[in-house]
Chains A and B, each alone.
Chain A
Amino acid sequence: MQRFVAILPIIFLSTTLFSTEVTARNQIKVVGSSTVFPFSTIVAEKFGKSTKFKTPAIESTGSGGGMKLFCAGVGLTHPDVTNASRRMKAKEFELCNKNGVTATEFIVGNDGLAFSNNKNSKRFEISIMHIAAALAAKLPRTTGLEDNWLKTWEEVDQFVAGNVSSQALVGLPNIPIRVLVPPPTSGTRDAMSSLFMKSGHKKLGTYSDVGKKGAAKLREDGAAIEVGENDNLIIEKLAADGDLFGVFGYSFYDQNRDKVQASIIDGVALNFDNIASYKYPGARPLFTYVKREHLEVIPGIKEFFKEFISEKALSIDGYLYPAGLVPLSDNDFKKESAKLTSFPAVTIK
C-alpha cells in the first residue's frame, strides 16, 4: 500500500504525458477573427448535422492571434483553418512560408464597420475626416505635429471645416469625444485603421504630416477607449450612455438596431446595399484561410469548404444572410467557388 501511494503521482504523470501522443484527429480545428466567428460557427453546425463528419471546433482568437497559430506549423496540433476580417499580412505570409505552411484564401462575404451611438441621441452625419481627426494620436499645427488637442465633437467639426475648404460645418454637438474601439489584435481594428483612420487622414490632407504609422495610431488620452473582443459589451455601454460612440461589425449592428444607430458616413448610410456595392466607406471583405498541407490529412476539410463556399450559405437566400453577412457579387462568388476544385496557394507581398 505504502509503496503504491509513493509512486502514484509518478505513474499518473507518465501516463498522461506519454499515452496521449496525438493520434489521428478527425475534427477540423478553426481559429481566428471574432467577426467571422458567428458565420463560421453556423456553417460548422450545419456541416456537422448534415454530414457524417464531426462538427468542427471553432475558437475566436482575433484575426492576428489566428494567423499566429495558423502559421506556426504543419501537423495535428496546429489548426487547419483561420478566419480573418482583413487580408493576411506580408509578415504573416513570411511566417507561414518559414514554417512550411501554404494556404488557400477564400473571401466569404462583406462586412461594414458601424460607427454607432445610442438610438436616442443625435444621429451623426459625418465624414471619415471627422473620425480620423477625433481619434488621431497626433495632428499637425502650424508649429508642427502635436498630441491631439481636440476635446469635443464641436472642436472636431471646426478643425475639419478649417482644414478642408470644401467641407462645411456639419453641426456636431459640444460633447466630449469618447469612442469605444476594438483591441489591436482584432481584425476589426486593422480595418478601422485603414478604412477610417488612414483614408480619413488622406482626405484631411494630414497623411503626409503624420506618416503611414502615425495615421493608424489612435490617441491615448482616454478619448479612444479600447475594449476587449466582446461586442455585446460595447452595445450595452452605448445603450447606457448617450454620449458614447462605438466601432464594431455589421452583424452586431443588425442584431441591435433597437438600441443603437449607425452614423451616416460621407453621405452613405450603413445598410446591406451600401456594403454590397462598397459605397459605404467602412465596407470590407471577410476572409478564411485553409492549410493546404492538411487537406488530405483531416477528414472532411474539403467538404466543409464546399458547405461554406456555396450558394446555400453565402448567397442572398443563403443561411448566413440573416446572421448579417453581406453576400459577394455573383462574379466574386464564381471566382471563390472556382478555387474549390484545386485549392490554389495564395501569395501575399
Chain B
Amino acid sequence: MGNGKTNTELIAKSLEKRHRRQTRLKYYGLFSILLGITFLIILLGSITLNGYTALQQTVVQISVNISPDKVFDDNGNISEEVMYNTNWDGLAKKAFRQEFPDVVDRKEKRKLSDLISSNAGYDIKWMVSQNPSIVGKETKLWVKTSDDVDQLLKGRLTVNVPEEQRRLSNSQLKWVKNLTDKGIIKKQFNTVFFTSADSREPESSGILGAIIGSAIAMVVTMALALPFAVMAAIYLEYFAKPGKWTDFIEVNINNLAAVPSIVFGLLGLAVFLNFFELPRSAPLVGGMVLSLMTLPTIIIASRAAIRAVPSSIRDAALSLGASKMQAAVDHVLPLASPGILTGTIIGMAQALGETAPLIMIGMVVFLVDIPTGFTDAATALPVQIYIWSDSAERAFYERSSLAIMILVLFLITMNLLAVLLRKKFEKKW
C-alpha cells in the first residue's frame, strides 16, 4: 500500500464512514415518514375540526295547534291531498312568532321568521304524517333553526363586525339570546344528515342519497369489472401464446391503468351517452365508466395472484386428465381468489373516491330524492362533497368536511378489509 497502511486499517477507517452513511440514510427515511405522517395528521385533523360540528343541528321548540281540517278529509282519514293544500310554511312561522308577540313591524316579523329553517313547515308536515295524534291540540315540537342561527350557536359566525356585514342583524341576535335564556333552543344529533339526500337548506341536507348512489354504481362496477378482469387474467396466463400480440395487449393494459380518470369520463360520454343513448346522470352509466377505469387494476392484480399459484398444482390437475379450463376454474382460481379479491377491493376503493369521470356523464347533479334504481338520476359520495364545497351557504362548509370524514372512513374500511383478507387467506407455498 502506497501510504503504508494495511488493508485492515483502510477498511477499519472506511467502516466508520460507511456506518455514518447508513445512519444518515436511516434518518432520511425516518424523516420522510414523519413528514408524511405530520401532513396526514394536519389534513385529517383540520377536516375533523371543521366537520365534527355538523354532527349536531340546532333546534328550537315551537308550540303549534294544527286544526284537523288541514290534515284530514271529510271522512276523518289522513289525506295527502288535503295536506298538499295546507300552508305548512306559514303555520310554522306563525307558531314561532308567538314566542315574540311584541314584534309587529312587517320587516321585523320577516327577520324573525328567518330564524327558523325555511323547511320547518315541511318537517311539521312529516311529523304529522308520522304521528297524526298531534293534530287538534296544543303541541310542543322541536323544529330546525336556519343555518345562520345554527352557525352562530356553533361559534362559526363572526359577530363583532358592523351590522350590515353580518348574516344576522342586531335584533336577530337579541332574539336568539332570548331563546337561549328561555332554554327552548338546543343542539341535538343531526339524524337528518344520515337519512336524507341533498337540499338547498344546509339544515335539511344529508348524505344518504349520495351513499346509495355510490353503492348502486359500485354494484355495477363490481358486476362488470370482476368477471371481465378474471377472464382476461386467466386467458393471458393460461391460453395466450407468448408473442407480439400478447406483449402488445399486456403493454396496453399497463398503460390503461395509468390513464387519467377524466379520459374514461369522456369515453363514457361519447360511447354510453351519445352512442347508446343511456340516460344522463344514471348510476348505471357511472358504474360502467368506473368499471372501465378499475378493469386494468383488477386484471393486473388477478394475473399476479394466478401466477403466484405454483404451476405444480395446475400440472397435477392436467396430468390427471383435467382440461385446461377445469384446471383453471376448479384448482387455480380458488387458490388465487384471495389475491384477486384484495385487488378488487383496492380497485373498488379507488373507484369509490373518483369524481372526475362522473362529472362528464352528468352525475354532478342536485337531487332531493334518494335514487331507487339503476337508471334514476343519482350522485355519488365524492361528487356530493364537490357540490357542497361549491355552495354559497357557510353551513355547507362543515357538512362537506363531515362528508369527507365519512368517505375516508369508507375507504379505510375497504383497505383494511383487503389487508385482513390477505392476512387470513394468504398461503405460503
Contact = CB atoms under 8 A, between A and B. Distances in A.
A146 interface: no
Interface string B225-258: 0011001000000000000000000000000000
A319 B110 CA distance: 11
A268 B280 CA distance: 44
A230 B390 contact: yes
A57 B392 contact: no
Contact of A12 (B114, B223, B374): B223
Given A57-B367, A324-B392, A29 B281 contact: yes
A45 B288 contact: no
A59 interface: yes
B284 interface: yes
Interface string B188-201: 00000000000111
Contact of B329 (A2, A9, A58, A230): A2
Nearest to B223: A12
- Interface SS of B by simple majority: loop
A252 B392 contact: yes
Contacts of B365: 57-59
Interface stretch (B19-27, B94-102, B270-278, B420-428): B270-278
A108 B110 CA distance: 23
A17 interface: yes
21 contacts: A2-B326, A5-B227, A9-B224, A9-B227, A9-B228, A16-B224, A22-B277, A22-B279, A22-B375, A27-B377, A31-B362, A37-B366, A42-B200, A44-B368, A45-B199, A52-B84, A57-B365, A58-B365, A59-B365, A60-B387, A258-B161
Contacts of B364: 59-60
Given A27-B377, A230-B390, A12 B164 contact: no
A116 interface: no
Contacts of A51: 84
Given A20-B278, A51-B84, A232 B389 contact: yes
Name the interface size band of chain B.
35 or more
A2 B393 contact: no
Given A20-B278, A20-B375, A59-B365, A38 B391 contact: yes
Given A16-B288, A55-B367, A38 B281 contact: no
Contacts of A232: 389-392
A319 B118 contact: yes
Given A42-B200, A257-B165, A20 B374 contact: yes
A316 to B, nearest CB: 11
A251 interface: yes
Given A20-B375, A45-B199, A257-B164, A231 B325 contact: no
Nearest to B288: A16
Interface size class of A (residues with CB under 8 A): 35 or more
Contacts of B178: none
A44 B114 CA distance: 20
Contacts of A6: 231
B369 interface: yes
A8 B368 contact: no
A48 interface: yes
Given A60-B390, A323-B392, 7 more contacts: A25-B279, A41-B366, A57-B281, A57-B367, A119-B165, A231-B392, A255-B393
Contacts of B366: 37, 41, 44, 57-60
Interface string B370-407: 00001111000000000101111110000000000000
Nearest to A52: B84
Contacts of B227: 5, 8-9, 12
Nearest to A49: B122
Nearest to B80: A52
6 closest A-B pairs (Cβ-Cβ)? A55-B368, A57-B377, A58-B366, A255-B392, A9-B227, A59-B365
Contact of B389 (A5, A49, A230, A317): A230
Nearest to A20: B375
B17 interface: no
A112 interface: no
A261 to B, nearest CB: 9
Contacts of A42: 200
